[in-house]
A and B are shown apart, each in its own frame.
Chain A
């Protein structure tokens, strides 16, 4: 088959992207700088008001924390699964995926049931006499992060795991017989070989966290507002152009953070390879 005819395979996807991603993005840019005449006032307002800077910084910070916790918790889990017999791996992956059958909304509500004033944990603690009255857990930053980690964790585990399945486990044996202790085989062979997949997982989790809306809205307080919540707030108040400007900033912020993460990641990888030299 000629190259020229293969191109047609991409046509549906290209049309779809053009109609529903590229066009709307340009429309968003247009909306943010024409109100109704050309103006930068919306971007100016974003930069000048401390409250908006706070929201942006919080969004990046929370997303980064969630991505890092997911990596620290998810990597060992993925490794554990990868080192099980094949049949058990399938069963364990199935367990990991079960939560993803439920919508983010339902999983977020579940946290309210667990953490609320009359929720499971407060009932338990009062019942055991550990505390006199209910402890405030909902509408705190810690709860938002915990819930986001719980929602994102399967994604990071699956991404790490699929990278690890590419590792020939004989390499670990080779490392051992050549003189590496267990942890040396891990840091010098297993870690470098699963590094790319893990970094990809971290970036995916970060990217998705940047756009989180439901969880901070339901579980967070006023002080936990993230960019997506800010956009919704502005849309509610019919500030379409300002909302569009925030959307553009979210996009730019996400893309530049991803580039930064990738760059830092590659730098850290070279350091990792130099361990023991």
Chain B
């Protein structure tokens, strides 16, 4: 199958005075799994609809492969799409739903039959061809929608919150399925979601969106470990944010922790905040190796979550803080009110822009 990359070049979309997409630039490599992650109104769905051809653009250019698609109607773009509500045709059988894009491409007879059966086999619904969509469960409809979107081997597949309507168990199972399909098909996938867990699990790269712009685009691991702004750090997972100030010399002073630290990079502290993930903060006790930044805190709340415990605490500087402990080797549960010595490594602290 031909695989194509995608390029957004300075794409702006305005609805009257409202800017849905603002000077949007992004290059997606052929075969890449790219996720648009953001809250509603961040422009992620607009970007997808622009690719599908449902929404025109005000300025800029959009290319699939080398070809600009700005002037093309949806039916000439040859992209597959899975909708949030699946949008299966209720008057057609499962077989005919999957055959729909093939028939429109002039496919007939045995070759059509083979392709439809192949697509249904890939989603494990070989025996469901004669059913009507309303006779299927949510997960099965999702699979049919997927089969229909890829049966004509489009170089690009668009998915608009495809798992949003499924319950948690099924959603996790479908995530693995989608990953498997992607490996099998090799096509470029644009996946839109507001669920950060989904984004981290599935994607090669994640574009975190905010107000019609990309806040950060990186691999899932980098987005989590190296957020560039406060917004991204807070949107993906949980984090602790500490104000930093320029201290004596060129060191940084963290008032909330009552400590100083050497600057982490060449930039100053101005306009920046320190982000530390809850699982990076640990208790410092006898026998434990020291950490680079150490401070005192008092536990205010204990949230037991089975495999790990989440603690709410207050530092001696009066700042609230969250940290997390895995219960791997018989770690003792702390009680609310316990005074602790906590610490983290400088390498685990990320200075982020105050945006």
**Cβ of A181 and Cβ of B103 under 8 Å apart?**
no
Stretch at the interface among A71-79, A83-91, A155-163, A172-180: A172-180
Contact of A178 among B54, B90, B91, B100 (CB under 8 A): B100
**Residue in A174, A175, A189 whose Cβ sees the most chain B Cβ within 10 Å:** A174
* A-side contacts of B83, CB under 8 Å: 170, 173-174
Roughly how many angstroms separate A203 CA and B192 CA in the complex, as a whole number?
A: 46
| Known contacts A170-B83, A173-B74, A174-B83: A179-B89 contact under CB 8 Å | no
* B-side contacts of A171, CB under 8 Å: 87, 89-90
**Residue in B52, B100, B105, B148 whose Cβ sees the most chain A Cβ within 10 Å:** B100
**Cβ of B53 and Cβ of A177 under 8 Å apart?**
yes
**Cβ of A180 and Cβ of B89 under 8 Å apart?**
no
Contact of A276 among B74, B77, B81, B103 (CB under 8 A): B103
**Cβ of B89 and Cβ of A189 under 8 Å apart?**
yes
**Cβ of A176 and Cβ of B91 under 8 Å apart?**
no
**Residue in B52, B83, B104, B158 whose Cβ sees the most chain A Cβ within 10 Å:** B104
B132 to chain A, nearest CB (A): 13
Query: What is the 8 Å Cβ interface bit string for chain B, positions 68-83, against chain A (1 contact, 0 not)?
Result: 0000011101111101
B145 to chain A: closest residue by CB: A174
**Cβ of A179 and Cβ of B87 under 8 Å apart?**
no
* A-side contacts of B139, CB under 8 Å: none
Contact of B104 among A173, A180, A192, A193 (CB under 8 A): A180
Roughly how many angstroms separate A277 CA and B148 CA in the complex, as a whole number?
A: 17
Roughly how many angstroms separate A245 CA and B158 CA in the complex, as a whole number?
A: 66
**Cβ of A179 and Cβ of B101 under 8 Å apart?**
yes
* A-side contacts of B149, CB under 8 Å: 178
* A-side contacts of B103, CB under 8 Å: 276-277
| Known contacts A168-B85, A184-B104: A179-B91 contact under CB 8 Å | no
Roughly how many angstroms separate A273 CA and B85 CA in the complex, as a whole number?
A: 23
Roughly how many angstroms separate A173 CA and B45 CA in the complex, as a whole number?
A: 14
Q: Does B8 contact A (CB under 8 A)?
A: no
A192 to chain B: closest residue by CB: B91
* A-side contacts of B85, CB under 8 Å: 168, 170
Roughly how many angstroms separate A78 CA and B153 CA in the complex, as a whole number?
A: 37
Query: What is the 8 Å Cβ interface bit string for chain B, positions 132-159, against chain A (1 contact, 0 not)?
Result: 0000000000000000110010000010
* A-side contacts of B158, CB under 8 Å: 177
**Cβ of A173 and Cβ of B54 under 8 Å apart?**
yes
**Cβ of A177 and Cβ of B91 under 8 Å apart?**
no
**Cβ of A177 and Cβ of B79 under 8 Å apart?**
yes
**Cβ of B148 and Cβ of A178 under 8 Å apart?**
yes
| Known contacts A179-B75, A179-B152, A180-B75: A174-B87 contact under CB 8 Å | yes
* B-side contacts of A170, CB under 8 Å: 83, 85, 87
* B-side contacts of A168, CB under 8 Å: 85, 87
* A-side contacts of B105, CB under 8 Å: 179
**Cβ of A177 and Cβ of B75 under 8 Å apart?**
yes
A166 to chain B, nearest CB (A): 10
| Known contacts A168-B85, A168-B87, A193-B91: A276-B104 contact under CB 8 Å | yes
Interface residues on A, range: 20 to 34
Roughly how many angstroms separate A181 CA and B79 CA in the complex, as a whole number?
A: 14
Roughly how many angstroms separate A28 CA and B52 CA in the complex, as a whole number?
A: 64
Query: What is the 8 Å Cβ interface bit string for chain A, positions 182-207, against chain B (1 contact, 0 not)?
Result: 10100011001100000000000000
* B-side contacts of A273, CB under 8 Å: 91-92
**Cβ of B104 and Cβ of A177 under 8 Å apart?**
no
Contact of A176 among B73, B78, B80, B148 (CB under 8 A): B73
Contact of B81 among A174, A182, A189 (CB under 8 A): A174
Roughly how many angstroms separate A183 CA and B74 CA in the complex, as a whole number?
A: 13
* B-side contacts of A175, CB under 8 Å: 89, 100
Roughly how many angstroms separate A174 CA and B77 CA in the complex, as a whole number?
A: 13
* A-side contacts of B75, CB under 8 Å: 176-181, 184
Roughly how many angstroms separate A175 CA and B97 CA in the complex, as a whole number?
A: 10
A166 to chain B: closest residue by CB: B90
A273 to chain B: closest residue by CB: B91
Roughly how many angstroms separate A168 CA and B90 CA in the complex, as a whole number?
A: 10
Query: What is the 8 Å Cβ interface bit string for chain B, positions 203-227, against chain A (1 contact, 0 not)?
Result: 0000000000000000000000000
| Known contacts A178-B104, A179-B152, A277-B103: A193-B77 contact under CB 8 Å | no
**Cβ of A178 and Cβ of B101 under 8 Å apart?**
yes
* B-side contacts of A184, CB under 8 Å: 75, 104
B149 to chain A: closest residue by CB: A178
**Cβ of A193 and Cβ of B87 under 8 Å apart?**
no
B83 to chain A, nearest CB (A): 6
A46 to chain B, nearest CB (A): 43
**Cβ of B87 and Cβ of A173 under 8 Å apart?**
yes
A160 to chain B, nearest CB (A): 17
B187 to chain A, nearest CB (A): 15
Roughly how many angstroms separate A175 CA and B91 CA in the complex, as a whole number?
A: 13
B117 to chain A, nearest CB (A): 17
* A-side contacts of B54, CB under 8 Å: 173, 176-177
Q: Which of A224-277 contact B (CB under 8 A)?
A: 273, 276-277
A179 to chain B: closest residue by CB: B104
Query: What is the 8 Å Cβ interface bit string for chain A, positions 55-75, against chain B (1 contact, 0 not)?
Result: 000000000000000000000
Closest 9 CB pairs of A and B: A179-B104, A174-B87, A178-B101, A176-B74, A177-B74, A177-B81, A170-B87, A192-B91, A179-B101
List 15 A-B residue pairs with CB atoms under 8 Å apart, sorted by A's residue number. A171-B87, A174-B81, A176-B54, A176-B73, A177-B52, A177-B158, A179-B78, A179-B152, A180-B75, A180-B100, A180-B104, A182-B73, A184-B75, A184-B104, A273-B92
A residues neighboring B (CB under 8 Å): 168, 170-171, 173-182, 184, 188-189, 192-193, 273, 276-277
8 further A-B pairs in the complex, CB-CB below 8 A; given A171-B89, A173-B87, A175-B100: A173-B74, A173-B83, A175-B89, A177-B53, A179-B75, A179-B78, A180-B104, A181-B73
